[in-house]
């Protein structure tokens, strides 16, 4: 995700930290987004951040999705397949993705 999801995507209007620490397990984030031209909101709890597994899991705890579903979790996970064992693990790329994600989150929290 490049520099600012709100600018890039007409589907996301806002993302703000509601509780906790930026990018930390237990933090609560509120998303305002559009689906089919209708404004929606989701309040998400960051349940898991596993750097080793390159995994993030959000649980939707309030908003439009929990009115439709008994539960709703979003999992972000990166998998790669190397052509041979000499290819390095994508640690640098993952660090870049994490940094860009934090930049996007910081941008949203400042506005």
* CA dihedral (94, 95, 96, 101) positive or negative: positive
Among the residue ranges 22-36, 65-79, 96-110, the one predicted with the least confidence is: 96-110
Domain boundaries, the chain: 5-110
- Distinct helix (H) and strand (E) counts, the chain: 3, 5
Establish how many alpha carbons lie within 13 A of residue 93's alpha carbon, considering only the half-sphere containing its beta carbon.
7
User: What percentage of the chain's residues is helix, strand, coil (to nearest 5)?
Assistant: 25, 40, 35
Closest C-alpha among 97, 1, 81 to residue 49 = 97
52-66 tens-digit pLDDT = 887 888 899 999 888
pLDDT of residue 43: 94
Percent of the chain exceeding pLDDT 90 equals 17
Tell me the C-alpha distance between 20 and 26, whole Å.
7
Q: Is CATH 3.30.1330.90 the classification given to domain 5-110?
A: no
pTM of the complete model beyond 0.95: no
Give the position of tokens 């008994």: 70
């Amino acid at each position: 995700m490049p520099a600012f999801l709100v600018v890039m995507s007409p589907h996301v209007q806002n993302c703000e930290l509601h509780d906790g620490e930026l990018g930390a397990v237990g933090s609560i984030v509120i998303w305002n987004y559009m689906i089919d031209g209708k404004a929606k909101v989701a309040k998400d709890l960051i349940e898991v951040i596993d750097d080793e597994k390159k995994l993030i899991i959000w649980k939707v705890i309030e908003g439009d999705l929990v009115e439709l579903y008994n539960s709703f979790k979003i999992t972000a996970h990166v998998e790669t397949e190397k052509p041979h064992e000499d290819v390095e693990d994508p640690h640098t790329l993952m660090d870049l993705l994490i940094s860009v994600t934090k930049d996007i989150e910081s941008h949203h929290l400042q506005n």
